[in-house]
Structure 1
Amino acid sequence: MLLPVLFALGAALSNALATVLQRKAALTVPKSEGLRAGLILDLLRRPVWLIGIVVVITAGVCQAVALATGPITVVQPLFVLELPLALVIATAVLQGRLSRAGWAAVGTVVAGLAVVLFAASPAGNRTQVPMTHWIPALAGSVAAIAALVVAALRRPEGRGRAACFGLATAISYAMTAALMKTSMHTLDDRGVGAFFTTWQTYGFALFGVCALFFLENAMQSGPLVASQPALTLGDACVSLALGVTVYAEYVRTGWWLVPQLLGAALIAAGVLALSRLPLARALASENEEKGAAADADSPAP
């Protein structure tokens, strides 16, 4: 179990670092109203942005290895650490500052995650899934995503719209991980040819693209305090459900549900507190002024 945990943590750390590096690169690009055709060309001339892309690829490789070697119910919940890690890295790279309340929120997320994983004690690592498991999972996920997108489009810009798009992103990320897990086992068992001919490979690519699209809409639709908790908790919860129902993984139930719910509440409280920080908003918004990150949080008293 140690190997998938280490690779999942590596993926979370890489994603967090990539977020900070890409934000740092964006701060060096001249701002303009609306879309600008030369934006990508400008970014391509920024070494820090190119490093960020390499880190994103590294994160994808780490996630693939983690899913190939461990239960999805262990791997995906560890990604709730992305936001705390991104803020910690940003304090150094963007010269920001976390107050005592910010550090307390980071500790709350870590503690909550530890409680959840200890109480749930996930186990199992099925390598292949029959279509009788995939069909309801795919149908339910697509229906839920469609309903959330419709609900988002019917709302004006604000918290409700951002939360709907955030949850749609979470479901897409969870399905991406679930499908990727089967694809990685196919690659390991039957080689590259089978990897590129199995439908799960194209399935996780499609859900991954959708996740990025919904994430961008979530960021543009409303405050991070609305979208980030829905994204963070939604990904973990949906992944847990997919691990149990699709991959027949095991988590403890009965009275163990009490500490699991307590841990989830701690994670929710920590993520909510972190998403309220100016530093978190500076990382998420392309419209922040260049100096916002440096003044991201007030000094600890």
Structure 2
Amino acid sequence: MDPGTTLAIAVPAAVLGAAGFGLASAAQQRATKEVELAPTLSPRLLVDLTKRPMWLIGLVATIGALVLQLVALAFGPLAVVQPLLVTGVAFAAVFTALMSRRRPDLLTMLGALFCAAGLSMFLLLARPVAVGPDTDIDIASGMPLAIGLAVVAVGCLIYASIVTHPSRVLALALSTGILYGVTAGLMKVVTGQLRIGLDEPFRHPVLYVVCIIGPIGFLLSQNTFQQGRLVSPAVAVITSADPVVGVLVGVSWIGERIDTSPAHLAGAAIGAAVVVAGIALICARGTYLLHRLDESEQMPGAQRIRMAPS
């Protein structure tokens, strides 16, 4: 199949997948506010959420988006697909606005585009190249990254458990993105094993690790949506951290290689800075909208401005 045809399949699938992730984030964030606040990583939250139709809509959207993501990655390169998926932040802002019966916030969507542009630069310059069969992981060489990711993820969870500052939600989102990125990297190994035989993944521990980490990441994402008033910054952190961690997993655990020349590293660093700038813009805009919302709630009903945070 020629490159033009594969991109004709990959790009629409990635955009539709981003829309699905955006709808899922908006619906799940709305549904988590309708149930009792649950402790971080408490399975009781999922039990309560299964009784909410809006959350079930978000669950269906998540499954559909994951299928579309797999289709996009099967036909298109990571450097094309992942930036398109990051636009799920903009879709989340749009769906959140529609559910609140208001206009989407343009600055929030601009921040989402910053995230996509920065991630595009990062992936184009640091795009990993496979140097062997991706059917196993190198535990020894991957140990430093595993320890580092574990320290960051656990540190974020500890920080979120002891502070009340709004940044705690971003810490939860970063932990979620790390778990999603690790899951994506390990799923690459599982798909490689599937090319050998349908029963091959069951002969290795990677699949079972995915079955543990994946659900934990999903549960943590629901905690993130429930415990924060802002959905767009959390989605931006999750969708930006996911592919970056996935690339690191591919290089450290699976043996892929990236261009480490000074020029490429500098460009990748600039791309990462643009992503951070996009997240900062979304956070700043969300804080402003929350301030306006709080002010409007103190006004008489006739003067109240209809506004909801993204």
Mapped to 2, the partners of 1:84 and 1:226 lie a distance apart of: 11
Alignment of 1:94-109 (within 5 A): 94-109=100-115
TM-score (norm 1): 0.72
* Residues 1:296 and 2:308 aligned together: yes
1:165 is matched with 172
Match of 1:204 in 2: 210
Which blocks of at least 5 consecutive residues in structure 1 are unaligned? 283-288
State the one-letter code of the partner of 2:114: T
Pairing 1:128-139 to 2, within 5 Å after superposition: 128-132=135-139, 136=143, 137-139=145-147
In structure 2, the partner of 1:54 is: 60
Q: Which residue of 2 aligns with 1:127?
A: 134
Cα contact 1:78–1:113 (8 A) shared by 2: no
Post-superposition shift, 1:243?
Answer: 2.0
Equivalents in 2 of 1:140, 1:111: separation in Å? 27
CA contact (8 A) 2:29 2:226 kept: no
Deviation at 1:214, TM superposition (A): 3.1
Partner of 1:249 in structure 2? 256
Equivalences, count: 282
Moved more, 55-64 or 124-133: 124-133
CA distance change for structure 1 residues 206 and 78 in 2, over 3 Å: closer, same or farther?
Answer: farther
CA deviation map 1:197-253 (0-9, x unaligned): 432122112111221333344445556487556534433332221122223334333
Kindly provide the CA deviation profile for residues 11-34 of structure 1, in whole angstroms up to 9, marking residues without a partner as x. Answer: 33321122234456x39x9x5765
Q: Is the contact between residue 102 and residue 274 of structure 1 (CA under 8 Å) also seen in structure 2?
A: yes
What secondary structure sits across from 2:87 in the alignment?
helix
1:176 equivalent in alignment to 2:183 = yes
Pairing 1:195–2:207 present: no
% same residue = 27
Using the alignment, how far apart are the partners of 1:280 and 1:198 within structure 2?
49
Gap change, CA 1:102 and 1:51, over 3 Å in 2 = closer
Structure 1 Cα separation of the partners of residues 27 and 55 of structure 2: 6
Select 1:146's aligned residue among 145, 148, 154. Answer: 154
249-258 or 131-140: which moved more?
A: 131-140
The corresponding residue for 1:239 is 246
CA gap of 1:172–1:39, structure 2 versus 1, over 3 A, is closer
Inter-partner Cα distance in structure 1 for 2:93 and 2:287: 7
Residues 174 and 146 (structure 1 numbering): CA distance in 2 closer, same or farther, change over 3 Å? Answer: same
The CA distance in 1 between the partners of 2:214 and 2:288, in whole Å, is 23
Instruction: Give the C-alpha shift of residue 55 in structure 1.
Output: 1.9
CA apart distance, 1:256: 2.4
Verify the 8 A CA contact 1:275 1:281 in the aligned structure 2: no
Mean Cα deviation higher: 89-98 or 225-234: 225-234
Q: Secondary structure at the match of 1:214?
A: helix
- With normalisation by structure 2, the TM-score equals 0.70
8 Å CA contact 2:24, 2:62 repeated in 1: yes
Q: CA RMSD in A?
A: 4.1
* Contact 2:28–2:225 (8 Å) recurs in 1: no
Q: Does 1:263 align with 2:263?
A: no
